[in-house]
Amino acid sequence: MRFAKSGDGDFIQRMIHHKFHGFVHSTFNRTLNIQCLDSGDLYTIACKGIDNAPNTLIIDLDRFEEADIVVNDIVSSDHSILTIANKMSITMDGAMEWNCVLPIYPAETDVLEMNVSTMKQYINLHGNNSRIERAFKSDNPFDDEMSKMLNERTQLLVLELQNKRMSTAITHATSLIGLGPGLTPAGDDFLVGLFTVFNIENNRYFSHKSFCEEVVLHAKALTNDISYMALAKAAIGQVRESISELMEALFRGSEEELLLALGRVLAIGSTSGTDIALGIVAGLEMNM
């Protein structure tokens, strides 16, 4: 029996009060995704050390390799216990519930403006090879063209948003979905960061946050299931704990607090964290 350490509050409550029927969608060293047969939504079971996130449960395990869990294994729940085939059972007893709550945009922006400047400098020095802001040519013409497209399309999107031309902004945002290599493409990651800012209460674009959900309406057919769920959740202000902590540090934190929080976001995936951070910077600069 494995124990859930913490997790998305709605996910835990669903496991406790309702039956879950689904199957294993995809497996990785430290996470596995399960798909609900009722809703089609993806849920994630993650190992120790991974931060809380929407639809995610953190369990007392270091890696999944020895569990021999494979795609299409049957997943079900009963009486607070989630069972994956006959290979693993996870109890919700004692699990700490986490819910994403984004901070409110500050009335005074002196700290924010200084922190955004610091964040941009740090990303330039320590960001993980983002194709959105790649300033060099590689030996791979395809990669170079992809970087050029990502750069141009993100700039066009920001320009339309700055001018509050929301219908054309939706078109440019949609053109980013699925663009770039990796499990979560760079264009999707940038939008996750941008959507986060749109859902911050009291920011200039909060009244236009429906933009995010309108973009997601086009996303299902344009990207993979895992990335789609991240976009759909971000569109309603539901993001990883490390991202919400970064927003808090940007608004009110010291430089040390900012860099600690930023480092945790940049560590997401191979380049995903950097691309998410660039989306956050773009959204905040539009406000400033």
> What is the tens place of the pLDDT at every residue in 45-79?
999 999 999 999 999 999 998 899 999 999 999 88
pLDDT confidence bin for 145, thresholds 50/70/90: confident
Res 137: pLDDT: 59
pLDDT surpassing 80 at residue 223: yes
234: which 2 tokens?
A: 């971000």
- Taking all residues of the chain, what is their mean pLDDT, rounded to a whole number? 93
Does residue 128 surpass a pLDDT of 90? Answer: no
The residues, any chain, with a CB within 8 Å of residue 283's CB and separated by 6 or more, are: 193, 194, 196, 197, 198, 203, 205
DSSP 242-285: HHHHHHHHHHH--HHHHHHHHHHHHTSTTTHHHHHHHHHHHHHH
Lookup: tokens for 195: 């959507």
Q: At what angle do helices 110-126 and 272-287 cross, to 10 degrees?
A: 150
Cα 101 → chain centroid: 14
Q: Looking at residues 223-251, what average pLDDT do you find?
A: 98
E strand intervals along the chain? 2-8, 21-27, 31-36, 42-46, 56-59, 74-78, 81-84, 88-91, 96-98
In angstroms, rounded to a whole number, what is the distance separating the alpha carbons of residues 5 and 13?
14
Could you give all domains of the chain from N- to C-terminal order, each with its CATH number?
2-98 (2.40.50), 110-287 (no CATH)
Identify the residue whose tokens are 């939706």.
170
Confidence grade of residue 144 (pLDDT, cut at 50, 70, 90): confident
The pLDDT value given to residue 197: 98
The phi and psi torsions of 236 (rounded to 5 degrees) equal -110, 20
Three-class secondary structure of residue 96 per DSSP: strand
- The pLDDT score that the predictor gives to residue 134 is 61
Of the pLDDT bands very low, low, confident and very high (cuts 50, 70, 90), residue 243 is very high
